[in-house]
Amino acid sequence: MLRYLPLLLVLALWIYAFIDCLNTPEDEVKKLPKLAWVFIILLFGQVLVGPVAWLVAGKVRKNPASGITPFSPGSRTKFVAPDDNPDFLKSLKKDEEEDKKRGDDPKDD
């Protein structure tokens, strides 16, 4: 079973690079046209040249504007509970007012 692991890893990288190339918009592809990258990935995928070339040089990689990576401690957004979120509370009040205007009593449910 362990002897198939390298084959599976190559296949997984090949499939990932191919799907990533297909899903990338044309304006984010560097150096060559998108169709050329697809052929390079398919033709040279078995020896990993195509997928590695795509991942290294084929796509515009976006860097975070502030220099904070997704795994930095300062990049996490603070969770706000629904009862502390003023927008959520306003939406509840609007719903209650609309129910009163229609004559529905939400407490009857």
pTM of the entire predicted model: 0.54
Q: 15: pLDDT confidence band, cut at 50, 70 and 90?
A: very high
To 10 degrees, what angle do helices 34-43 and 5-23 make? 170
CB atoms within 10 A of CB 48: 14
Q: On the CB side of 2, how many CA atoms lie within 13 Å of its CA?
A: 0
Q: What number of other Cβ atoms are within 10 A of residue 30's Cβ? A: 12
Tell me the per-residue pLDDT of 55-78, one tens digit each, with 9 for 90 and over: 888 877 776 555 555 555 555 566
